[in-house]
Amino acid sequence: MARSATSARGGPRERDDTDAARDESTPERSPPPALAVEGLTKRFGDGDDAVTAVDDVSLTVERGSVVGLLGPNGAGKTTLIKCALGIVIPDAGSVRVFGTDVRDGRRAAYADVDAMLEGARNDYWRLTVRENLRYFATISGVDPDSVAARHDRLLDRLDLADKADTPVRDLSRGMKQKVSLASVLAGGAELVFLDEPTLGLDVESARTLRAELRRLAAEEGLTIVVSSHDMTTIEAVCDRVVMLSNGRVVADDTVEALLGGTDRDVVRVASPDLDRETVAGLREAFEVVDVDRDAHPPAVTVVAGGDRIYDLTDALRAAGVTVSDIRTVQPDLEDVFLDRTGTVPSAAAGGESS
């Protein structure tokens, strides 16, 4: 797990008349964004075998926002996060964290940054849940006693209070994932990177985690960058989504704008007559997005915008299909991504290599 350097904060100094005069004469400047990436590029390998994992990526993450990174395996999400964290050194471009160029001062830049990276052993399994929180707060430069109340809140909100004194090795995979998140938040970092935070969680646990992330951003001003294949998490948690494909940014906008910007009109048709032969015929004439044979009655979802809806109804009638229900399906982020790239973000058991 990537961990921030120890914070070194000086105490406040007394203000004098010079300070007051400077306040009156100097216009107030907006604080720099939490993260500013400019022209970031990272290649692996040499010559003809070189692979460009991140290709001239630029993005800004404002303080207190929740930004999602979305893309298929190999799109460059994890490499981008590792470059932003200084774990992987980019071949070109710059990274600024809270206004500090990481090349000029890594310790200062990452003092208030933490991360949970998918696939890593994020916690010490021999320690209890609470001991992990205290340990990671300490290595972040925070007196664990001073944030004990924060730890209690995290344990309570993530449904870990009953397991606070249980060694992590004795917990389920989903519980361990929640302990990893709590450990990242234990030291009070202002910017956190979460790579596949809902991996291994059941539906209820994932819902709890999403609610806690939104609360932390809204109430405590935490800035969060989330990389996930879980469309529900990205859509429910993020203010903005950055879509990556082949190492490049293909979309960067608010969730609302992206959902309203697709020109793919998707229609779902339900009928007991949707056998394999009928669906095969529809595939020849339309883009079939999904076939749900377990639905009652079975259903097929196709792209049929504009006048194509009339072609669809004619094709169904010609095939002798009695339609039980037909309705327009509201686009989701998967539809938007498919519209932008022609591919669908999908999870893989081993995570992504780039």
Three-class SS of residue 178? helix
Q: Are residues 189 and 316 in the same domain?
A: no
Per the DSSP assignment, residues forming a β-bridge with 248 are 245
Q: Are residues 82 and 223 in the same domain?
A: yes
Residue 183's H or E segment, with its range, is helix 173-185
Q: Are residues 275 and 193 in the same domain?
A: no
- 270 or 338, which is more confident: 270
Neighbours of 41 (CB within 10 A): 16
Tabulate helix, strand, coil % of the chain (nearest 5): 35, 25, 40
Pairing of strands 266-270, 325-329: antiparallel
Q: Are residues 229 and 208 in the same domain?
A: yes
Q: Are residues 271 and 163 in the same domain?
A: no
Q: Are residues 255 and 280 in the same domain?
A: no
Per the DSSP assignment, residues forming a β-bridge with 267 are 302, 328
User: What domain range includes position 287?
Assistant: 266-330
167 domain residue, yes or no: yes
Pairing of strands 51-61, 100-101: unpaired
Q: Are residues 63 and 117 in the same domain?
A: yes
pTM of the model: 0.73
Q: Are residues 309 and 192 in the same domain?
A: no
Rounded Cα distance between 346 and 354, Å, is 14
Q: Are residues 230 and 288 in the same domain?
A: no
Q: Are residues 220 and 289 in the same domain?
A: no
179 domain residue, yes or no: yes
pLDDT, tens digit, 9 for 90 and up, residues 58-111: 999 999 999 999 888 888 999 999 999 999 999 999 999 999 999 888 888 898
Under 8 Å CB-to-CB from 24, ≥6 apart: which residues? none
- 354 or 219, which is more confident: 219
How far is Cα of residue 305 from the mean position of the Cα atoms in its chain? 30
342 domain residue, yes or no: no
Q: Are residues 236 and 293 in the same domain?
A: no
Rounded Cα distance between 121 and 180, Å, is 9
Above pLDDT 70, what percent of the chain? 86
Would you mind telling me the total number of residues written for the chain in this entry?
Answer: 354
Q: Are 166 and 176 in contact (CB under 8 A)?
A: no
Structural domain total, the chain: 2
5 domain residue, yes or no: no
| Residue 316 belongs to domain with CATH number | 3.30.70
190 domain residue, yes or no: yes
354 domain residue, yes or no: no
Which residue shows structure tokens 């007051």? 20
pLDDT, tens digit, 9 for 90 and up, residues 234-275: 888 999 999 999 999 999 999 888 877 655 678 899 999 999
Phi first, then psi: what are they for 174, rounded to 5°?
A: -65, -40
Residue 77's H or E segment, with its range, is helix 77-85
| Residue 127 belongs to domain with CATH number | 3.40.50.300
Q: Which of 259, 284, 318 lies at the terminal end of a domain, its last residue?
A: 259
Q: Are residues 253 and 121 in the same domain?
A: yes
